[in-house]
Every structure is written in C-alpha cells, then in structure tokens.
Amino acid sequence: MKKFNISIIKGDGIGPEIVNEAIKVLNSISLKLDFRLDYKYYLMGGIAYDEVGNPLPQDTIDGVLDSDACLFGAIGGPKWDNLHSDLRPESGLLRFRDTMQTFANLRPAITYDELLNSSTLKSEVIKGVDLLVVRELIGGIYFGKPRGNDGQKAYNTMVYTKDEVKRIAHKAFALAMSRNKKICSVDKANVLEVSKLWRDTVNEVSNDYPEVTLSHMYIDNACMQVVKDPRQFDVILTSNIFGDILSDTTAQVVGSIGLLPSASIGVNTSIYEPIHGSAPDIIGKGIANPIATILSASMMLKYSLKEKKASILIENSIKNVLKDGYRTKDIASFKEDGIKVLTTCEMGDMIVKYIENS
C-alpha cells in the first residue's frame, strides 16, 4: 500500500471548518482506492501568533518541508489587523511561500452547468468556461525591496529577474501543452519596465513551444475580457499581483469564490488551498462552502501524489452532487426547482456519499 505524509494547516476563521471536510473526503477516497494518508497538524496565521507569538513557527516550516504535500485552509482576520506588519498573519503566509519556494500558483476556474444561475453573468457567456491562471507567486511587488511607510510616504518595489520569469513561463507553457495549447500572457508593458522584461522573456520562452499559441494582453483589458468573454482563455500567465487580481475576478465568472481551488507548486514542496480568505463573518455558522478546499485536495492528489484516478473521482462526485441539486448557501439559486441547501458539514458528507457509491 502506498503511503503519503500530508501536513495540515487549518489556520484561522473558517479554515478549520473547510479543511475538516476536505480531510473527510481524502479519508474516503484513500480507503476506496487503497492508499494511505498520514496527517500531521501545524499552526500558522493568527492562531499561531496567539499560541506562540509567531505567525509562522519554525516547527511548521520543518514539518511542511518533511511532508509530501501541504493542505492549507485560510488565515487572518480583524483580530490581528493592528499587529506590527511582521507579526500579522499575512506576513507569515508570504514568508511561508518564500521559504517553500512555491513559485507557481495554479488557479483553475471551471463553470458547472448546474451553477450557471449562481453567477450574475449571462449563462451564454460563462457556459463551458475552463481556464487556468498561472500566477508567479514569490516575486514581484509583494516581495520586492525596498519597501516602507513612514506615515507620510509609502513605497513598494516591483522586481522580477529574467530567470524568475523564465521559470514560471516554462511551467505555464508545459501546462498549456496538456490543455488547448493557448497562452495569454498578462502584463502592463506599455508603462512598466518590469512588464517589458516579462513580455520579452515570455516571447523568448515561447520559441521552445512552437505548438502553443501565445498572445499578450494588458492587465486592465484582461480583467474586462475575463468578464466579457472568458471562453477565449485557456491558460493565463501573469505576475504575482496581476494574478491575484485576475484569479479573484474569475470567481465572479464561476459564481462563487467558494468554488475556486489552487495549487502552489514549489521547489521544496507544494501547498494546496482555496483562494478565498478566512471569512471571519461566517465562522461557526455552518454556511462556508467547502468545495474549493475539497477541490484543492483533489489537485494535491493529482499533482503531488500522482493519484490521478482519485482526483478524477472527487471531481466527478462534486459534479454529481451539484447535478442532483445540492448546494451550500453561497451557490443556492431559488429560481431553480428541487434545490437542497446543505451546511458545510452536510456538503462534505454528501460528497463522501457519492464517492462511496460511485
């Protein structure tokens, strides 16, 4: 029997609720397909600061590095907003990504026919959307120095080296080769020097992938096009801050940010997490959508553990659950007949049931 060591970081807010449901699904799928998952739990974020005074304890770093992959919930909340910047949960997350060297953030956005009414966009615009945002995750303005704020003037620095751009571009082109062989690289090369280097380097890398069609788009136009005609995209390649903006924009396309998973592929390990935040306003209400976290766990099975059959079975079970009218509150449209609204825990249970009966 194959065995895998999985590090678990539940984090803050709704993190524990949604991760618990993903673990429930992982336990079911591993039992069904005869492999073993061993979990170890670690602290990060506000809860880590509360317990040990550090949003990213060394024990967490060591534990995640020693695992086959990490499943992560969410961090942050208003409770910690007034801490010094180095102690806030978000600073721990940035250091975590940098330490793990998770340079490639993969954020798929796929629409389900059963949820077309959950989006405010017209169903004929979003039907059949299947795009992948490939976001560079450990460079750019979030990590660039110098940076500072003296109360009168604040500044940040956007920096990319040619090698950093080549690394993420090769990852995006390789992914495009397994999809529809189209890449749109998003930048702001008309006004930013760093984007000019980005575009030149992506063009250079494209020579190694003659089968892939490459186009370029400015970030402002890209945001408009993702909402106007999302089906035109296959793989979107972009920088850290632009990828952050674009991938959240795709939430409006699919109908809820509670449906969007992500994989952060790294040099040292890989991290799998939903793209939504800790949602402190709905903690403990049982209405958080666990599907994005469960899909993140599915991506973990596919990319890190190479259990593709398990990943496909989870995805198909989610599709069938939605097809049969089961929803969490955020994706429930009462314009449809036969909709059954489930709690967070009930949605996890229902997906497990469909896995077991598949």
> What are the chain's domains?
1-110+256-358 (3.40.718.10), 120-254 (3.40.718.10)
353 catalytically annotated? no
Which of 162, 185, 163 has the alpha carbon at shortest distance from 238? 185
Phi-psi region of 140 (alpha: psi -120 to 50; beta: other; left: phi over 0): left
pLDDT tens by residue, the chain, 358 residues: 899 999 999 999 999 999 999 999 999 999 999 999 999 999 999 999 999 999 999 999 999 999 999 999 999 999 999 999 889 999 999 899 999 999 999 999 999 998 888 788 999 999 999 999 999 999 999 999 999 999 999 999 999 999 999 999 999 999 999 999 999 999 999 999 999 999 999 999 999 999 999 999 999 999 999 999 999 999 999 999 999 999 889 888 998 888 999 999 998 899 999 988 899 999 999 999 999 999 999 999 999 999 999 999 999 999 999 999 999 999 887 566 788 999 999 999 999 999 999 8
Beta strands of 91-234 (E only): which ranges?
A: 104-110, 130-136, 148-149, 154-155, 182-187, 213-218
Determine phi and psi for 44, rounding to 5 degrees.
-160, 150
CA distance 129 to 145: 37
- To the query of whether residue 142 is one of the catalytic residues in this protein, the response is yes
* Of 38, 200, 220, 229, catalytic: 220
Annotated catalytic residue, options 130, 248, 303, 329: 248
Q: CA–CA separation, 263 vs 295, rounded Å?
A: 10
Active-site position among 12, 234, 244, 330: 244
In the set 49, 188, 209, 234, the catalytic residue is 188
- Annotated catalytic, 303? no
Nearest CA-CA partner of 286 in 334, 335, 348, 353: 348
Among the listed residues 42, 49, 142, 326, the single catalytic one is 142
Please check whether residue 121 is in contact with residue 253, taking contact to mean a CB–CB distance below 8 angstroms.
yes
Active site residue 153: no
